[in-house]
Chain A
Amino acid sequence: MMELPLQGIVVLEFSQYLSGPSAGLRLADLGARVIKIERPKVGDAGRKLAIKNLWVDDSSLLFNTINRNKESFTANLKDDHDRELVKKLITKADVLIHNFRPGVMQKTGLDYDSVKAINPRLIYAEISGYGKEGPWKSKPGQDLLLQSMTGLAYTTGNGSNGPVPFGIAIADILSGAQLVQGIIAALIRRQKKGVGALIEISLMESLMDFQFELLTTYYTNDQQPERSNSNNGHPLLGAPYGVYQTSDGYIALAMMDIPALANAISCKKLEGFSNEQAFARRDEIKAILAEHLPSQTTGYWLDHLQGGGLWAMEVFDWEQMMNHDAYKALQMEQPLTVAGKEIITTRCPIRINGERLYSEKPAPKLGEHNEKVVRELVSGE
């Protein structure tokens, strides 16, 4: 096993649920030692948040997914003794991450200015919902709510649907990923200049960045992006961009030359259309395609389209995907043993020097590493 790039970096994670912890997970997979600082008895609220009622020991499968490859240290931040211990840990740490609402860290005396005084080289990274000022600063930073408030729900689904949210926690995941970028960039500056940094991001800013293509187009033409009436794939893109039903499933068609498409699928009705009309007349073109494509199987169309170099793909569910050699070739699955049970999750998506990054270390039990952390980082053994 190679030496991972962030080996030697100590991260204290005062975070719950997904946004902050997903950043901690990535740093851990890149080699950092990540220690979750959790409330005694209850810990990260994510421990009790299960989906489909799936549990591994007394923490949920979801918690075990997001928090593998970390350690757990319990401390009551309202207790003087515990807080002093945490401050000692902070003097030994390289990075601190939290995702509390604005003001919470101030109350415990662990805000950036206080912490900087005891460790000026610390990278202090925080995720908020809506930033630290303005009328929304105290609103709950929850993923669906952010999707709803940033216009994102009007990008997906058809024009005939109401607003359609993304079925994945995009704001949490993206803000966590971007926080990692800021943290490592700050570590690079520290290498050269010896200074720490305050890195901040909000779910709101992350989601606006996510929509930067749409927003720039909106700022330029002052028109709301419009989803197509049917088969919408992306509100800014012309026909055929979208997903279509076939006789045995669905097929995705990306951007392509309209006459070449008409020819490849032998669609007479489409023959009169030019590429210049792909956006202006996309509803018409899509309607023609939606009527034509159910006449044959996905496989039949793919042969005709991919054979001609046109951008098309079958629409898979996970079962179909996992049975395909293309999925197997990735070796994406990461087995873990937790409480005597084997569970499977996914590994880090980044490869270094040709190697995939695996880690067998499961998520920690609450307070599992209290003694070890004190011994190694506070007592200085």
Chain B
Amino acid sequence: MNLLKDILVIDFSQFLSGPSAALRLADMGAQVIKIEKPVTGDICRQLYVSDVMIEGESTIFHAINRNKQSYTADLKDADDLAKVKQLLAKADVMMHNFRPGVMERIGLDYETVKSINPGIVYAEVSGYGTEGPWKDLPGQDLLLQAASGLTWLSNNNNESPTPMGVAVVDIMAGTHIAQGILAALYKKGINGEGALIQVSMFESILDFQFEVLTCYYNDGNQLPVRSAINSGHAYVAAPYGIYRTKDNYIALAMTNIILLAELLQCEPLKHFIDSNDWFDKRDEIKEMLARHLIKDTAGHWLTILEKADIWCAPVLDYDELVKEEGYRILNMEITVKTSNGLSVKTTRCPIRVDGRILTSAKGAPVLGEDNEAIEKRFGLAKELQPVIKS
């Protein structure tokens, strides 16, 4: 069941991009050891959100770092560095998301680590790559959304550029680095060779926009125009978007406008017989729809549309979502326990293997809680001993 059994991952990364990748590897069976700075650790431990904290640490730290171990080491201290190198000699994967140059200064750049362990998969996430004028800028999610044009794709056209309200750049970059790591591990299984895997948040967020960017590259460089109202996707025709009804909101995806007009008994819509108009005149169509849908309830409209197999859905918030049977049946919630007895409810890995969900009860580690066990298990000694690769 554990796909990645016996894989050892040494993770120096902080915040979300790298750690989210390590979390996925851990959930699929790898052993993940976070290498953290003594006293403070991963900066994410102190990144409180919504003024909510768990045992003095942020809720998001607990969500991102469950199912991992923590080993503290001062990488500027020769003894600590020596121990870390011994650990790296035994590792399958090493990950970091420091800015370019930091690992070189510490002495844990790819060439050095490769000389200790030629079979290692060395993975790094940067903000903007290792070259170019932005390489030293902070790789922060909102800033990457801003730099990559992404903020011009969501919300209505009269609104300011609108960032996506989830750290999509971090998460996509983490997803991509995990893909690269896994592919390299597969190849290592064939020829025993390691690899350097690199992902930048900038490239990841461009890849995320690959459909619409390709459109832009080939349509004579026309910038995207969001629809004036009920905007769902800058490149998709009416009715695509979210609409207010008498009580709640409903979402309408791609649909034949004439059919929709008939089902909803919306007279003015029936004139749009030319399907090219569904894109070209989408603001007009959406406005008619919006005026019509407000007259009755979400339940009323959805009953009519679902029966006709039209792509529609209610718009739920978390309070509504968690009450739904369709949510509960997925068993997405798990409760993990930290070593000091604290229970934290969070979400599980979304991937199912052989029909089973992947769960782990292990909570996020207390800073440095595994130092002793790791030193003992891997026989880490202060002086750097000659490393012999088997």
Residues of A within 8 A of B (CB): 3, 5-6, 18, 26, 30-31, 51-54, 61-62, 65-66, 130-131, 133-136, 139-140, 142-157, 161-170, 173-175, 177-182, 184-189, 191-192, 197-202, 204-206, 208-221, 223-225, 227, 231-237, 241-243, 245, 250-255, 279-280, 306, 311-321, 324-326, 328-330, 332-333, 343-346, 348-354
List 6 A-B pairs, Cβ < 8 Å: A134-B325, A155-B166, A232-B162, A315-B147, A318-B149, A329-B132
Picked from A5, A142, A220, the residue with its CB within 8 Å of the CB of B253 is: A142
Q: Shortest CB–CB separation between residue A195 and chain B, in angstroms? A: 9
Say if the beta carbon of B77 comes within 8 Å of chain A. no
Which residues of A lie under 8 Å from residue B350 when comparing CB positions?
175, 178, 201-202, 205-206, 208-209
Docked CA distance A280–B51 (Å): 8
Contact B186 A184 (CB under 8 A): yes
| CB–CB B316/A134 < 8 A | no
CB distance from A112 to the nearest CB of B (A): 9
With A52-B215, A66-B211, A201-B351 as contacts: A184 and B183 at CB distance below 8 Å: yes
The stretch that binds A, out of B202-210, B365-373, B374-382, is B202-210
B212 touches A315 (CB 8 A): no
Query: Are B145 and A252 neighbours in the complex by a CB distance under 8 Å?
Result: yes
Q: Which of B60, B146, B314, B326 contacts A313 (CB 8 A)?
A: B146
- Specify which of A168, A233, A344 is in contact with B214 (CB 8 Å cutoff): A344
Check if A145 sits within 8 Å of B311, measured CB to CB: yes
Contact A214 B232 (CB under 8 A): no
Evaluate contact between A216 and B176: CB separation under 8 angstroms.
Answer: no
Instruction: Name B's A-contacting residues (CB within 8 A).
Output: 2-5, 7, 16, 24, 28-29, 47-52, 54, 59-60, 62-64, 128-129, 131-134, 137-138, 140-155, 159-168, 171-172, 175-180, 182-187, 189-190, 195-200, 202-204, 206-219, 221-224, 226, 231-236, 240-242, 244, 249-254, 276, 279, 309, 311-319, 321, 324-326, 329-330, 332-333, 344-347, 349-355
Query: In this complex, what residue of B is CB-closest to A344?
Result: B217
A52, A65, A254: most-surrounded residue (chain B CB, <10 A): A52
A321 touches which of B49, B148, B313 (Cβ 8 Å): B148
Cβ-closest chain B residue relative to A290 = B160
Q: List, in ascending order, chain B residues with CB within 8 A of A65's CB.
A: 210-211, 214
Q: Is the CB of A216 within 8 A of B63?
A: yes
Residue of B62, B144, B163, B176 touching A233 (CB-CB under 8 A) = B163
On chain A, the residues within 8 Å of B208 by CB distance are 168, 173
Q: Knowing A206-B350, A216-B60 touch, does A330 contact B330 (C-beta < 8 A)?
A: no
**Cross-chain contact B49 with A237 (CB below 8 angstroms):** yes
The distance in angstroms between the C-alpha atoms of A150 and B134, with both chains bound, is 35
Contacts of B141 in A (CB 8 A): 254
Task: For the complex, give the distance between the alpha carbons of A51 and B226 in Å.
Answer: 14
Check A6 against B186 for contact (C-beta < 8 Å). yes
- For A189, the closest partner residue in chain B by CB is B3
| Cα–Cα distance between A179 and B210 once the two chains are bound (Å) | 18
Selected contact of B210 from candidates A156, A211, A345, CB within 8 Å: A345
- In-complex Cβ contact of B321 among A18, A150, A320 (8 A): A150
Distance from B257 Cβ to chain A, minimum over Cβ atoms (Å): 16
Give me 5 other A-B pairs in contact (C-beta within 8 A), A170-B168, A316-B147 excluded: A156-B162, A161-B159, A167-B234, A198-B354, A352-B184
CB distance from A16 to the nearest CB of B (A): 14
Docked-complex contact B214 and A243, CB < 8 angstroms: no
Residue of A nearest to B329 (CB): A134
Neighbouring A residues of B204 by C-beta, 8 Å: 349
Instruction: Check if A174 sits within 8 Å of B175, measured CB to CB.
Output: yes
Minimum Cβ distance to chain A for residue B325 (Å): 5
Residues in B with CB closer than 8 Å to A191 are 186, 189-190
Contact call A215/B242, Cβ cutoff below 8 A: no
Question: Across the interface, do B326 and A136 meet the contact criterion of CB distance under 8 Å?
Answer: yes
For residue A5, which residues in chain B have a CB less than 8 angstroms away from its CB?
A: 183-184, 186-187, 195
Whether A134 contacts B207 by the Cβ 8 Å rule is: no
Minimum CB–CB distance from B123 to chain A (whole Å) comes to 10
Q: In the complex, are the beta carbons of A199 and B352 less than 8 A apart?
A: yes
Write the nearest CB–CB distance from A280 to chain B, whole angstroms.
Answer: 6
Determine which of A143, A180, A223 lies in contact with B179 in the assembled complex, contact meaning CB atoms within 8 Å. A180
The reply to whether B52 and A217 form a contact with Cβ atoms under 8 Å apart is: yes
A252:B314 contact, CB within 8 angstroms: no
Chain B neighbourhood of A145, CB < 8 A: 251, 253, 311-313
* Residue on A nearest B49 in the bound complex, by CB: A236
Shortest Cβ distance from residue A68 to the other chain B in the assembled complex, whole angstroms:
10
Residue of B160, B166, B216 with highest tally of chain A CB at under 10 A = B166
Q: Which 10 A-B pairs have the closest CB atoms?
A: A329-B132, A155-B165, A167-B153, A252-B146, A134-B329, A236-B49, A136-B326, A148-B251, A313-B143, A145-B313
What is the CA–CA distance of A364 and B204 in the complex, to the nearest angstrom? 25
Contact B351 A216 (CB under 8 A): no
A336 to B300, CA, bound (A): 48
Contact present for B149 and A254 (CB under 8 Å): no
Contact A354 B62 (CB under 8 A): no
Minimum CB–CB distance from A61 to chain B (whole Å) comes to 6
Most buried by A among B28, B142, B216: B142
Q: How far apart are the CA atoms of A21 and B231 in the complex, in Å?
A: 26
Task: Provide the residues of chain A in CB contact with B28, threshold 8 Å.
Answer: 181-182, 185
